[in-house]
Structure 1
């Protein structure tokens, strides 16, 4: 029956190598949630847990239930749904169990826990494939239905989702991605004062990648469970920090909502999977609920079922009093979830936020409180840094700039980081603030969402207005020359070429449009995914046409990330409910999309490491090039080409135009006869002879005349010209070294840039 899914195991094991999953798990299946699938009539359940062990084909159970109606003869139907298929669908005659002790159903309070071997006649090891114990985020549930024998009335229905312990959501992944973001943040702060350093921009790009990965699971689509679990690894980047129903923050938000007109349900204390719409994963039960016609009647006698050492029901059953039944009924640990229930979680934001322990109505307020905490931390750090900067400026006033200039630069630096925080907050604030308006739950939550959205979007709009106004009034190059805008507004344009200073505007517009679709089109997944795919293709086309970045490598990275977004968004089309794609193909699509996103995160990690190490590599190169031993050896390739090695670094000496005009022809008009005939082959030195035209000498000047007038420079060059002409015509004087150069050698110092020869005249 499961031959069609045998290849899924190999695919999952090969693709999920890149995803950090849990350690080795035993081959077990256990209940992850329990809910009523119909109004409890004859059976009340307080606790229902079981674990199936594949190795010895046994079941451990922990059951607490009560039968409250007398004289009820029922049959039990056991139904198993795995990825939309139902390999187990048996009806058991309870009257044949325990010598008729369960017929009629006794009004007992069942409380017991034990391990039971499965009868060999069931042969569950053949019914359940091995993949059910290996694939992460298993999509399976078991259903127990009690039907009255005489009337066919449904007396009780209980559903329990199953899990194997494997999941694509891991706390270690959250810490790893958070650690990478923290490293990028510290590196960006350290290098944010360095011109043309990419780390501050890569920090924002990394957060945008995280937020996009999380936002792909917020649409009204029938995602596979493995993809939702993977996407929740990045929920913290949206400000949705994992919580529990008893978290003080969530309890405070619940109290605030209920005091201000909120009527929506709070977060559940159990698994959010229990409240998922039964049409969606992991239930996949659109056509599988209450399957009839294919049921098989299985007669089991007392000898077939073994209950440990004793086979009497009295070991697990105690007589129930009226008080016990009342306590069991008021416990409320097992919720009623049907297609008409108000607590059903629909696809999109409700399922996603509840998976991280946050109620649907609490999503925005959670982001709002996280944003306030981040803003408070930012203000404290900026205040401390400002005090330190002013203090150091006053201490070093003699050799540093004034405290006023330091203050202006620091304020610009702080404004740039505030702008980066607004860019990071723009995606979650726009999505969840507008989604809060559709809930109509708490007037205070709606008011705060409007204020928060206006604050973030308003500051971004103001900064964009300043940038565009300066570029329109003057030239785009003015943005890169005005220190005021270059420091404070750098996150908006400094990454791009001057003629493409506006390249960040399409990205912000695309983010806003996607947020509008996610928030307001939450009941139509087809519209959401189609228009978002068009937007992503438009962003990719914009990058290919504009090529806005200053370097080709930056364009390649941005294009790669855009292609990843387009490909993954295209894969999400398979999750549209109207397509009706099977559960197993959707699992494969989810795994492939998760791998694409994982590779993109790894690429960003490598890029951030390279950007962090690049300044140190450049500094090491500069130090190595200044090493005298390296200078003596010369540049690589000199020995191969046979060219003479210049012992001094080549520098370009910019001469004054007036000086150049005084000697229009220079040494280019010197005849061959004027050149010295003393060479190394004749045993003579070349000191005092005419140098080739590519060389130029400038004598060293005394320290007291470094700032002399231009006329003095004319006199120095005239004296140098006469000295060279005299040495060229007198072989005897050619053995006398230049006085200025000899003086430098005696003083034991190297010639300065203006003193040594340059090869690029």
Structure 2
């Protein structure tokens, strides 16, 4: 896992040093030269170029000169002009009006000094911010006849599919560990809380890519590894179904685009905006739209032709959620519907498992199938297991709360499909009402009884344990701070699109407040728990503060932005690794304690989940101040097993 996360930050160099076009677009509407395809590969080992092109001129008697610009991280590495009438025996003067298709490998002469202009780091740094631009200018009128840009890539990226699979597998493993501990542990199941902690940390990392900022490509690609934690799962079948649904319910916004077209939506910002480009195109382009990535974009259509990226296009991808979702082929207007359908699928799977367990229990009871251990588990533990976890999922919704809030709120700002908007209201009310009801029940129980009531497992208290169970009893109310931070951050992300500076500042204030609350109240039952909680608060605060470098108005140079993005990625990756390590350690300690304390009787021993059944009060979870025999939640161990929640 450590290797895979580091792989996302420092991809391995497995291929030869080369640069190739990752996407191609027109810089202005193609009125004189039509290009259907253009690919270019530069091999650094032998300094050769392979290209293929399919194009045609639609105007006769046009003689042009070609201007070639190579830009990387805002620095112009190459800027040369070539008179086409002076090369190839004048075959391109004037431009031919027929369709021509060709490919060629050309060895570049050393006299051009290409190796001196292309630094070696260009072949190693992931998510290279570079492009090549070809501009054809009429030699008689000095009018721009055609402009084509091609983003350059070296094939390395911090967006790694193995990392996504590893994180997904780790999440499933933590879920299974939580389920196992819930049924087997005689003490409070820590792993169930750690599951929420893990998802909230992954969701925080993913949400840092949703702000209206001028991210470095390296950091944005890094955050895409965690998109699944927000329910953003790209599937062609799923997106097609959502597109059809929106089309029949009043949806008017554009559907998802290909990654090639999205590769150019950053043009207004780094790295696709230079003085050279502005000088050449001043007569053709208007002032860019504020807070849009480049001037606009026409998305790649079904014809497969080279897309046009100009300021006259009607579809403008705004910095923030639109860019983030389109990078994983999810249309802006499809974001909430994707989260909703993924949630429905997960709920259906959980419901199916519960039904199967119930059916197997009935089968065992009636047929006496299996040995004593199997019959004992299904008879004694499965009812409590199903009830407790159903209540956890239905009454808390803590994992689903952040993506629901963010994308439901954002859906309201789009004014697209009426059905999608209706579903966003229903889902928001459903998840919020469950959390609000659980919060009210906890506060009411403490008001009507005492705080000690929360340490007595019963059918009245146990269902709401995910809210307060991670905190020591006197600080049960800390879940209110936890929820307030989630809600405020979702509001800032959803409604603050287009104002990146305000989003970063408000998010910093939220993180400062959460950090201060952890320092003052010390909500966890052990010193190690409080220290770890403060560590995660500092991680969130520092990573949020460093994002000031991505604010467009501050005009931070491209290379420092890339470096800062790499630093943030490392900080967050280390936090994920430490949290997973603490979960593994906690689970290992739980298994060891069971084996040493209970021996062979563990199979028939009563689980604390049985106390969730009505009328069962035989098991209690002691308060650390009232009994020397503290529970696992308040263990005196000072290991990483006491990992705190992450807001």
CA contact (8 A) 2:8 2:157 kept: no
| Structure 1 match to 2:120 | 130
Deviations 1:689-718 (A, max 9, x none): xxxxxxxxxxxxxxxxxxxxxxxxxxxxxx
| Structure 2 match to 1:690 | none
Match of 1:487 among 448, 458, 462: 462
Q: How does 1:159-308 map to 2 (within 5 A)?
A: 159-193=149-183, 194=185, 195-243=187-235, 247-283=236-272, 285=273, 287-291=275-279
| Distance in 1 (alpha carbons) for counterparts of 2:384 and 2:86 | 88
Deviation of residue 114 (structure 1)? 2.1
**Equivalent residue pairs, number:** 570
Match of 1:517 among 444, 467, 492: 492
Q: How does 1:443-522 map to 2 (within 5 A)?
A: 443-522=418-497
Unaligned segments of structure 2, at least 5 residues = 282-300, 602-647
CA contact (8 A) 1:272 1:354 kept: no
CA contact (8 A) 1:479 1:485 kept: no
Deviation of residue 536 (structure 1)? 0.8
Deviation of residue 33 (structure 1)? 0.4
Match of 1:119 among 106, 109, 113: 109
CA contact (8 A) 1:88 1:127 kept: yes
| Distance in 2 (alpha carbons) for counterparts of 1:623 and 1:241 | 43
| Distance in 2 (alpha carbons) for counterparts of 1:226 and 1:274 | 13
The change in CA–CA distance for 1:378 and 1:262 in structure 2 (over 3 A counts) is same
| Distance in 2 (alpha carbons) for counterparts of 1:287 and 1:528 | 29
Larger Rg: 1
The change in CA–CA distance for 1:272 and 1:552 in structure 2 (over 3 A counts) is farther
| Structure 1 match to 2:352 | 380
Question: Residue 141 of structure 1 aligns to a residue in which SS?
Answer: strand
| Distance in 2 (alpha carbons) for counterparts of 1:216 and 1:343 | 24
Question: Residue 151 of structure 2 aligns to a residue in which SS?
Answer: strand
Deviation of residue 129 (structure 1)? 0.5
| Structure 2 match to 1:568 | 543
The change in CA–CA distance for 1:418 and 1:108 in structure 2 (over 3 A counts) is same
Match of 1:29 among 2, 6, 19: 19
Q: How does 1:70-149 map to 2 (within 5 A)?
A: 70-149=60-139
Matching of residue 414 in structure 1 with residue 403 in structure 2? no
| Distance in 2 (alpha carbons) for counterparts of 1:114 and 1:348 | 40
Deviations 1:433-471 (A, max 9, x none): 111111111111111111111111111111111111111
TM-score w.r.t. length of structure 1: 0.72
CA contact (8 A) 1:254 1:266 kept: yes
Deviation of residue 552 (structure 1)? 2.1
CA contact (8 A) 2:394 2:434 kept: no
| Structure 1 match to 2:339 | 367
Bigger relative contact order (CA 8 A; separation at least 6): 2
| Structure 2 match to 1:343 | 315
Deviation of residue 498 (structure 1)? 1.3
Matching of residue 606 in structure 1 with residue 581 in structure 2? yes
Deviation of residue 248 (structure 1)? 1.6
Match of 1:154 among 140, 144, 155: 144
| Distance in 2 (alpha carbons) for counterparts of 1:56 and 1:210 | 43
The change in CA–CA distance for 1:32 and 1:441 in structure 2 (over 3 A counts) is same
Deviations 1:655-685 (A, max 9, x none): xxxxxxxxxxxxxxxxxxxxxxxxxxxxxxx
The change in CA–CA distance for 1:434 and 1:60 in structure 2 (over 3 A counts) is same
| Distance in 2 (alpha carbons) for counterparts of 1:409 and 1:345 | 46
Question: Residue 483 of structure 1 aligns to a residue in which SS?
Answer: coil
Unaligned segments of structure 1, at least 5 residues = 1-14, 294-328, 627-761
| Distance in 2 (alpha carbons) for counterparts of 1:440 and 1:287 | 37
| Distance in 2 (alpha carbons) for counterparts of 1:330 and 1:570 | 42
Matching of residue 531 in structure 1 with residue 523 in structure 2? no
Match of 2:305 among 321, 327, 333: 333
CA contact (8 A) 1:390 1:407 kept: no
| Structure 2 match to 1:53 | 43
CA RMSD of aligned residues (A): 2.5
| Distance in 2 (alpha carbons) for counterparts of 1:501 and 1:227 | 37
| Distance in 1 (alpha carbons) for counterparts of 2:261 and 2:575 | 29
Matching of residue 550 in structure 1 with residue 539 in structure 2? no
| Distance in 2 (alpha carbons) for counterparts of 1:404 and 1:21 | 50
CA contact (8 A) 1:18 1:598 kept: no
